[in-house]
Structure 1
């Protein structure tokens, strides 16, 4: 049964040939990524575990669109995507073996680099940004509706197939449903509640953008989808991602407002004002230990504080290449490394951590410049702020939790989306005059030598100049 994972390879190839690259990506690949759990996989000889959505992407990687996105549409963000994978491969080569390095290159090609380039092409050349949003939002809304049963009853419908699946690693998560605050934390088709929450953190501002930009014909439908993305995040009851989600939504709300400069200035002033009492609270936590903690939330904060101090020392011992994926050191009883930056640094060194920080901060600052520009048309300007919210919320969230598939793939797709918008802006495709210019008939040109004369009395057919938009 586990060999059914390979079936999407043939379905993707058939859809690309029959319906086109963008249509197949939006209609088949995205729903498969979100709806089918990654812990259902196939262990083939000489390759890492193959999930359904990895298999589905294989035909997408070997198409001319990937080369166009990599070469013709090159952006400086590409370099740091490649640098991330290069550091991972070098770390595995030194710490493990050539086979391990080869497998990591395989995973990065199909989980990170490939989707990043595919998203660049689909948004910039395929002009299907709206479709990407509606597909992601629609599938996550469906997950939220299905997960109402899990939230109340504590039984995950997506887990039922694990009983008959021949390859199931209980260490990958997706086994237990955790109670909290009188309900059960949903995880849907994801390996853990925090990964489910991170997916909603990334999509909540995108749903708000779609509802506000008229992507949906019905305003009620758009607002209903926004509600379900918010409620899906709430049902995970994961505190770090919930804060990250509100940060993401808040950045979008401030950025798309007409008073965005004043709102950001007020937010900066309020943050500076609150930093004074926050510093006293932090110093109080610094003096506590897990044994003296008075509540679960205090114990969680102290655990993460100890985590940083303990494992930063380990990273400093091997800063450039880390310890490799399978050789992680353990300090005391801290098996769970609830900080993606620490985990990446331990695995592969500071190179990939720096690459991720540059990807996140660089794309946020570049898109903020576009978002503040008065020359940018309203729709892509607001989309820039939605992406800023999703990327910033992700970076905040993964400082409190680990990072896993498919949200890791989603993150690199979001960076690819940002690269596409920035490339389009550089080419002048996001200007107001491009969106708002009236399409007027071309003036009739003089007859070229050798052309047959025009039929007398026949009106000249006006030809319209195509609008250059990417959404």
Structure 2
């Protein structure tokens, strides 16, 4: 029964041949990514685990390589992505051998390179920006509604629906906080779930802005886009994770810049708020996490102290790992701190100083590209989108100081980085109407 994962491969190839690669992203890849738990996979000898999203994106990536590379404009970020991946391969090769390194690279191609290519090559094509955002938000709205059952009753509908196809593959454990289940949906953990909902929340905020001057269906006098936005905010809340909560607040603050009538004044106000809030938050965090976990008054404070101690206790391991790190499979663990809940620290451990600084460069390049697009933009719809994309990245990166980047959050990060490299101003004051991508049949020969 695990062979059902090949349905995603077949569906992706079919959509590419019949409707084009953009349709495969919207109709196959996004549903597989957002609604099917990535832990369920087909495991064959001498092959890496094959899950729905990886099998859906490989035909898309191959089609992009054969059909869109003439449109590719080389940037510094392309170099950072390739060296980041090459460094990760080498780190695992030295640490655990060729087999693990190849498996890890297979996963990175599916979760980093191909999402980056989708963001850079497809999502700024005419009409694609809005279509992608609406499909992403629509799927996450479904996830939010289904997650209400998990939040209240403790049963994860996503893992329950697919468990029978993958006997012996156990889902993650349920976590409870304050008498309520911390929703994980199809995203492996509550923290990662919160990050994915955070990303959808930023797209939802943009669509609220896009639809404000359009005739839109209302329910109890509330516009549909607002209802969907509130459902996505509920999704972030149901994760019961402070990282995504704070990241969501930061993201919405950044997004509000582009939604303001006076952008310059909004930039000044937001800059001051972030400076004051960041400074106050830093000193509060220092005071809140002082002492040991035995001094904590509750589980939340114990968790915060644990994360501070990670930075101290793993420092010798980071130094010993040197330029290339220990690899992702079997790096040394500090007793009692097996879970490295900080992506920036985890990259230093597994990929060394090379991986860490390349990761910082990727974040910086994305921020710079978004800022540059915002400075030259004149269309209010575009400006709002740029800042919403900036809010997505800012909110995710803040959250990643409290959790590792895994599952769908990895794809979301690289997709947003790639998207930041292709931002362009639209020709009208509205996002464009749905349409098929140019070159509808451009990829038929690839899979013939």
Please, what TM-score do these two structures have when normalized by structure 1?
Answer: 0.84
Aligned to 2:142: 142
- Partners of 2:194 and 2:2 lie apart in 1 by 27
- Partners of 1:399 and 1:326 lie apart in 2 by 21
1:168, CA displacement in angstroms?
4.6
Maintained 8 Å contact 2:198/2:392: yes
* Higher mean C-alpha displacement, 89-98 vs 215-224: 215-224
Q: 1:80 to 1:66 in 2, by over 3 A?
A: farther
Task: Write the mapping of 1:17-166 to structure 2, written as runs, cut at 5 A.
Answer: 17-64=17-64, 68-69=68-69, 72-125=72-125, 127-161=127-161, 163-166=163-166
- Partners of 2:366 and 2:195 lie apart in 1 by 19
Alignment: residue pair count: 424
* Higher mean C-alpha displacement, 268-277 vs 201-210: 268-277
Aligned to 1:218: 216
Maintained 8 Å contact 1:147/1:188: yes
- Partners of 2:38 and 2:70 lie apart in 1 by 27
The list of structure 1 runs, each at least 4 consecutive aligned residues, that deviate by more than 6 angstroms after superposition, is none
Per-residue CA deviations over 1:31-60 (Å, capped at 9, x if unaligned) read 111011011101122221111010111211
1:277, CA displacement in angstroms?
5.4
Q: 1:160 to 1:435 in 2, by over 3 A?
A: closer
- Structure 2 residues not aligned, in runs of 5+: 218-222, 430-437, 439-448
Aligned to 1:427: none
Aligned to 2:329: 326
Does 2:252 match 1:254? no
* Higher mean C-alpha displacement, 262-271 vs 324-333: 262-271
Does 2:243 match 1:245? no
Maintained 8 Å contact 1:367/1:418: yes
1:389, CA displacement in angstroms?
0.3
Task: Write the mapping of 1:450-461 to structure 2, written as runs, cut at 5 A.
Answer: none
Maintained 8 Å contact 1:66/1:114: no
Aligned to 2:444: none
Maintained 8 Å contact 1:370/1:376: no
Per-residue CA deviations over 1:275-310 (Å, capped at 9, x if unaligned) read 665565444346411112222222122111111111
- Partners of 2:374 and 2:277 lie apart in 1 by 27
Q: 1:288 to 1:214 in 2, by over 3 A?
A: same
Q: 1:17 to 1:281 in 2, by over 3 A?
A: closer
- 1:208 pairs with 189, 205, 209, which one? 205
Maintained 8 Å contact 1:38/1:405: yes
Q: 1:369 to 1:320 in 2, by over 3 A?
A: same
Per-residue CA deviations over 1:384-405 (Å, capped at 9, x if unaligned) read 1110000111111111111111
- Partners of 2:157 and 2:277 lie apart in 1 by 43
1:130, CA displacement in angstroms?
0.8
Aligned to 1:197: 194
Q: 1:118 to 1:305 in 2, by over 3 A?
A: same
- Partners of 1:153 and 1:130 lie apart in 2 by 35
- Partners of 1:349 and 1:393 lie apart in 2 by 24
Aligned to 2:342: 339
Per-residue CA deviations over 1:125-179 (Å, capped at 9, x if unaligned) read 4641111101110000001101111111111112214653445544xxx332212
Q: 1:303 to 1:218 in 2, by over 3 A?
A: same
Aligned to 1:460: none
Does 2:182 match 1:180? no
- Partners of 1:418 and 1:275 lie apart in 2 by 25
Maintained 8 Å contact 2:341/2:402: yes
Task: Write the mapping of 1:262-281 to structure 2, written as runs, cut at 5 A.
Answer: 262-273=265-276, 278=281, 280-281=283-284
- Partners of 1:399 and 1:336 lie apart in 2 by 13
Q: 1:286 to 1:10 in 2, by over 3 A?
A: closer
Maintained 8 Å contact 1:66/1:118: no
Alpha-carbon RMSD across the aligned residues, in angstroms, is 2.3
- Structure 1 residues not aligned, in runs of 5+: 425-429, 437-468
Q: 1:29 to 1:271 in 2, by over 3 A?
A: closer
- Partners of 1:92 and 1:70 lie apart in 2 by 32
- 1:414 pairs with 392, 413, 416, which one? 416
1:71, CA displacement in angstroms?
6.0
Per-residue CA deviations over 1:86-131 (Å, capped at 9, x if unaligned) read 1101111111112222222221212210121123221234641111
Aligned to 1:391: 393
SS of equivalent residue, structure 1 residue 420:
coil
- Partners of 1:166 and 1:273 lie apart in 2 by 50
- Partners of 2:142 and 2:306 lie apart in 1 by 35
Higher relative contact order (CA 8 A, sep 6+): 2
Please, what TM-score do these two structures have when normalized by structure 2?
Answer: 0.88
- Partners of 1:330 and 1:190 lie apart in 2 by 25
Maintained 8 Å contact 1:343/1:402: yes
